Amino acid sequence: MQSVMVGIKRVVDYNVRVRVKPDGSGMATEGLKMSINPFDEIAIEAALRLKESGAFAQVVLVTIGPAEAEQQLRTGLAMGADRAIRVDAPARLEPLTVARALHALAEREQPGLVVLGKQAVDDDHGQTGQMLAALWGRPQATFASELAVAGNVATVTREIDSGLETLEVDLPAVVTTDLRLNQPRYVKLPEILKAKTKPLAVLPLAELGVDAQPQFTVREFAPPPARVAGVRVQDVAELVAALNARGVLS
């Protein structure tokens, strides 16, 4: 049986408030708690459940980033993944660069399925899974709220504007996970200790033949404008009068 490859990203913990640097050059992340991107954590859980069902033999974690990202790989290994690969690269990479790196790894690993979070909570691009599928020339099923594998076919249910859509894709394929797919398991202390001995390989990005040179330049970061305080009204008549005064109602 083949393996499941799961791509994860190191991000600022979603409970932490991030601020823009005073000079507008980026986000101030020094000293902040870092964790696995929440959507990627759901992807790990999905892969583990597929392995436990007997659909796959192994779960392989992959991240593209600096040495600090190994902490998040070890967390994923503690959840139950079998081994991990870190592609040594700068922390900030464009989605296409990440997709190219994942494609090179998919060609090496030959997984039966690649599972990614639908987006990262730091940049919200939501593009990497789709780009990977295009580069790999394999089917994709995005924003999965349900996932099952039988033989060489993955069945994915996804939420759309008109309700639920069910897709069947031939494996190997790329699946991206939505929030409602599952609830990631709690990591226990014995598993954290065991994860320290699990294999974690490091590869230079250049070894995969991927150029990390960015195609876009971000000139400046700025916080959103402060929201204007709301107005409390006593009844519907006062609400209608206030809306009329602002010219909202015609």
In a domain, 234, yes or no: no
In a domain, 73, yes or no: yes
In a domain, 247, yes or no: no
pLDDT tens figures, 67-79: 999 999 999 999 9
Q: Tally the domains of the chain.
A: 1
In a domain, 228, yes or no: no
What's the predicted TM-score (pTM) here?
0.88
pLDDT above 80 (res 42) = yes
pLDDT above 70 (res 1) = no
In a domain, 250, yes or no: no
Task: Identify the domain containing residue 86 by its residue range.
Answer: 3-219
Question: Which among 75, 96, 71 has a CA at the least distance from the CA of 210?
Answer: 96
In a domain, 113, yes or no: yes
In a domain, 246, yes or no: no
In a domain, 211, yes or no: yes
pLDDT tens figures, 113-151: 999 999 999 888 999 999 999 999 999 999 999 999 999
Question: Which among 229, 232, 222 has a CA at the least distance from the CA of 27?
Answer: 222
Q: What pLDDT, on the 0 to 100 scale, is given for residue 133?
A: 97
CATH number at 204 reads 3.40.50.620
pLDDT above 90 (res 230) = no
